[in-house]
Chain A
Amino acid sequence: MSTLAPLPVVIPLSVAAILSALNKFVGRRLSEALAILTTIATGVICGELLLQARVQPVMHWFGGWTPRAGVALGISFVIDPIAAGAAVFTSLLVLAALIFSLHYFDTVGTLFHVLMLGFLGAMCGFALTGDLFNLFVFFELMSASAFALCGYKVEEPESMQGALNFGITNTVGAFLVLSGIGLLYGRTGALNMAQIGRTLGGNLDGLVITAFIFIMAGFFIKAAVFPFHFWLADAHAVAPTPVCVLFSGIMVELGIYAVLRVYWVIFDGPFAAHRWDVRALLLAVGSITAVVGAVMCFGQRHIKRLLAFSTVSHVGLLTIGFGVLKEGALAGVALYVLGHGLVKAALFLVAGLLLHRFSSVDELELHGRACRMQATGVVFFVAALGLASMPGFATFLGESGIIDGAKGIGQGWVRAVFVIAGVLTAGAVLRVWGRVFRGMGKAEDAETAGAKKIDEGRETNAASHGIPAVMFAPAAALVLLAVAIGLMPGVKRAVRTAAIVMQDRTGYQARVLEHAWIPVTPAEEEHTPIGKGLAWSFGTTAAALVLAFLSLSPYWPSKHVLARPVAKTVHLLRAIHSGHVGDYVAFLTFGVAAFGVVLAVLIHLR
């Protein structure tokens, strides 16, 4: 029993409530200071929980409702290293976003901090809970704060449209999750995840498959997996930049985290004999997501939208990592989330700097205008290399973990998907770097001509000269951290041990229901040769650089005969990203049905 465990939720939510009650009396500086201090406190507590969880996972039963005779009625927090790590990472990104917004929003009010703290508390609770319905409640709390933050600029119609698209699709997702939870409760009479997993045992039938599809699809909507990803680009294009940092850096990844948690605690038993069917579905969906996201990313000129599609692509890679269903790949996913979240957050912060300085995030409009911002350019460039999983970044460790896992089950082809996603997304970001920070290329080009220019409202008042340190420092610090984690010895092994704990279904059940802790064997230090992986990753980075420079050069064959089918495909892809919420929900419905049919047919055939 830990008294610390509920604090990461209780502290931010209480401060948020107090701040909103005293809205009229609290000045901007005071509310900023309170928000930052609260976030630091939450982060420190989560860090302490992480340290404790590395020794032995931490349990907390609310109201002292501990399980009796192996039956859990109460609500629990079950904190293993990956859950605590997710909460620490959330606090870190919220802190970066808050520091960045110190200077950013001149119009920022206390309510912004209230929403940020609500978002923080909900995400921490989402990561730490061990109860399925509790997971849904935190999911909804997280969503509600996110919708409000996304639509923070109320005077812009695009902003409202983006927030509505985001809100409606994600709320449909929440209902899918809730229906799935209802079905599981009807079968097992339990809401505690460990209890559900134990009661289900290895029984697989239509109801369990339906519940799995509903819950997975619901969380995949939050994770922006194809064909549920449409809301993401709209939301990122209109949300304030500090909010984008949280959307791309952690919120979307928490969608993947929830599916992982639910799969390993509840559904691994029923699907044990059908792992290959689940794998086939997830690897296919992940690959499609990665490629679609990457292609759409390369075709954007609105920098925030471009980064948003790159997030979609990288979520596809995470889905592949999940789909391998091995602890090595799971550790890879965790590391990839860290690495990607850090560099992507830094990229968004730089986009926010550009918006602050030039009132635009349009790649073509900004052509050559940021040549003087050398330090910022370096941060942007280095972060782009991290996006290509260059060795030395945490993303590289994640990538090699996932690919080694995939090779272990004979699916080495996923390397190709990683290369495509890396080259296109990093290539697009490097193209932006070349054009905006180096003045390369022309101020118009055929690649992005089809993409619309979206006018971006200012987020600051004064047209200021120079770059405030509080805006630059978080971006630089995040990139440095991504490299530091990538170079830290032993980090891979520690995360691997955490992944083994997360995957240990019977251990989890014993821990929660009998309060028995069976220590897992820590992961061995790996001695696999990584020479080939290094070569591939450097190759991907080099290819991304070449692609970026080619696309800025006059030799880019955009009018060539061979380029026409590509252009047609891109045009078609672009057409389905219509910005119309009805279309998005139609795709979503189709996606849920397709997931269900494919999985059911695969299971039936065996």
Chain B
Amino acid sequence: MSFFPYAVAAWLFIIGLYGIVTSRNFVHLVICLAVLQSSTYVLLLSIGYRVGGTAPVFAAVPVGTLAVDPVVQALMLTDIVVEATVVALLLALALQLHKHANTLDPDKLKALEG
């Protein structure tokens, strides 16, 4: 297994964090969070990958066929569902913020200092 997918996962995590830290728009910020999240997909899938393995569908293949790990794929699917909920919720909050404060810029919100 090559080192490359793990480097991609780390890169996505870091670039996502960078985006969140520097973002000046809450919608953009939530999407950066989604980028960060995709690093967990890459990480999970590369953990379960087997060189030369087939998809983990065990119909019409001989017993003992090498397949990639289905558990991490299930984890990833759960992760997608859970995070879709969270991202949708955060975007809804951002929308309400825009409605009532007329801005999406975290720099312009000063109510919660100190």
Contacts and interface: CB of A to CB of B under 8 A. Distances in A.
A579 B93 contact: no
A579 to B, nearest CB: 3
Interface string A154-197: 11111011111101100110110011011101100001000000
Given A179-B40, A451-B114, A168 B20 contact: yes
B17 to A, nearest CB: 5
B23 interface: yes
Contacts of B33: 168, 171-172
A154 B96 contact: yes
B54 to A, nearest CB: 19
A185 B113 CA distance: 41
Interface residues of B, dominant DSSP: helix
Contacts of B97: 157, 160-161, 164
A185 B21 contact: no
Nearest to A234: B112
A554 interface: no
A581 interface: yes
A144 interface: yes
Interface in B55-114: 71-72, 75, 78-79, 82-83, 85-86, 89-90, 93-94, 96-97, 100-101, 106-107, 109-114
A495 to B, nearest CB: 34
Contact of B90 (A157, A171, A233): A171
B20 to A, nearest CB: 5
A179 B20 contact: no
A237 B112 contact: yes
B96 A175 contact: no
A143 interface: yes
A283 to B, nearest CB: 28
B72 to A, nearest CB: 7
A175 B96 CA distance: 25
A454 B21 contact: no
B95 to A, nearest CB: 9
A487 to B, nearest CB: 39
B71 A140 contact: no
Nearest to A156: B100
A238 B97 CA distance: 13
B93, B96, B106, B110, most chain A CB atoms within 10 A: B93
B106 A580 contact: yes
B90 A168 contact: yes
Nearest to B98: A160
5 smallest CB-CB distances across A and B, nearest first, come from: A579-B112, A157-B101, A160-B97, A574-B114, A186-B47
Given A167-B90, A182-B72, A579-B113, 7 more contacts: A160-B97, A160-B101, A182-B40, A234-B112, A579-B111, A580-B106, A582-B22
